[in-house]
Amino acid sequence: MEAFDTAPALGHDEQPPGKKTTKDVWDILKSLGPAFLAAVVAVMGGWYNLQQAQLAKSAERQEVYTKIMAERESSDNAIRAKMFEMLFNAMFSKGFGSTAIAPGDVGAIKNQVMFLDLLSRNFDTVDIRPVFEDLDRELTRKIYDDRAFSDGQQGDYFAMRSELRRIGRNLALKQLNALASLPGTVVQGITLIQDREGTVQAIPDEGDGANGDGIPVELKADGLSDGAVDISLEYKKTKAGDKSFKAPAFQITFYDLPYIDNSVIDKDVRVGVVLTKYVSTRDLDLFRARLDKKLLKDYEDLRDGGVAQYAELRIIRFPAEYVGHRDRPYLQEIMQDLKGEERTEKEARAGKTGTP
């Protein structure tokens, strides 16, 4: 009796169980492929739309911010212009030039000092040095005119001149400190002492030895007089190359502003000088009661040491590329800069490609 195999026979199209499973997975993947691709496209499209929406929103915010700042600046400029006009009209209609004001009217002079203080606080980039210096000279004339004014009036004028000089000094120091933050800027202090014979000695600050090497300028003082210092600036490089070179001379007061009153002495060197302190020992006996009590000891020490006048200066060297509020770049300099940039770009491209 023959034994029969009861295992079912595989048909022509039938495959082993393992192969069938593999085929089913592949079929599933093939069927899901278009759906997966559509999902990826949808996600990428949504992400792209989200990014575009965020960029549009950011641009809209930037536009609104720019508009607000522009309107604010325009409004501020209009207010400042109106204020500038009002202050100047008030100052010149009630100042020394007015025939309706008596020469000894202390109140009118106080108002003029106040107007200049407002101008310096709100228009620190406007060159109003002539107005300051004119008032300073007028006050100085009144201070030492014993025949026309009483001791009390002279003391008032001395106090107002001290206030006027304080205003100018604070504005100059404010600009000096702002410039000192520029890269490559160097500041050096210099003390000037004039004895009773008129000899002036310039002493650089000891703590600024390193700074002295960074300022290629030699400052020489020719004389001091009532808050003004006559100086000359010798550029060491020019002096060494040209023996006939004559250093330019200046008169420095408390109203020299480094934003405006500076000199370009080389293509990469711009220099400004600021007067920060001035003392005349003759004022110790004349106006002792009007002097700052903290400075009385300094006045006495200077007088006992044979000093007639004493001043402190600060010289600042900052990049010549800085363009001041009154400076305008020359067309020739702009063309040279553009040519230099174009030449640099060509050299860079030649270096990358290896072409001569």
Measured CA to CA, the distance from residue 252 to residue 35 in angstroms comes to 83
Q: What is the pLDDT of residue 97?
A: 47
Task: Enter the tokens of residue 44.
Answer: 């990428």
Write the single-letter amino acid at 55.
L
Percent of the chain at pLDDT exceeding 90:
15
Rounded mean pLDDT, 246-271: 82
Rounded mean pLDDT, 241-263: 79
Q: What is the pLDDT of residue 8?
A: 52
Q: What is the pLDDT of residue 211?
A: 39
265 closest CA partner among 316, 302, 199: 316
Span of 27-36, 66-75, 238-247, 305-314 with lowest mean pLDDT: 238-247
Measured CA to CA, the distance from residue 212 to residue 315 in angstroms comes to 10
Residue 224 CB coordination number (10 Å): 24
Task: Enter the tokens of residue 55.
Answer: 């960029």
**What are the pLDDT digits (tens) for 274-292?**
999 999 998 888 888 888 8
Q: By three-state DSSP, how is residue 100 classified?
A: coil
Please report the beta strands in 244-306, taking only residues with DSSP state E, as ranges in sequence order: 249-252, 262-266, 269-280
Q: By three-state DSSP, how is residue 6 classified?
A: coil
Percent of the chain at pLDDT exceeding 70:
64
Q: Which residues contact 217 (CB under 8 A, 6 or more apart)?
A: 233, 234, 235, 236, 265, 269, 271, 315, 317
Q: Which helix (H) or strand (E) holds 11?
A: none
Task: Enter the tokens of residue 198.
Answer: 């008129």
Rounded mean pLDDT, 145-161: 87
Would the pLDDT of 116 be above 90?
A: no
Span of 8-12, 169-173, 213-217 with lowest mean pLDDT: 8-12
Rounded mean pLDDT, 132-146: 89
Would the pLDDT of 355 be above 70?
A: no
Measured CA to CA, the distance from residue 119 to residue 107 in angstroms comes to 19
Q: What is the pLDDT of residue 80?
A: 65
What count of Cα atoms within 13 Å lies in the side-chain half-sphere of residue 43? Answer: 6
**What are the pLDDT digits (tens) for 58-96?**
787 777 777 777 766 676 667 666 766 766 676 666 544
**What are the pLDDT digits (tens) for 172-216?**
999 999 888 888 888 999 999 999 888 888 888 875 443 345 777
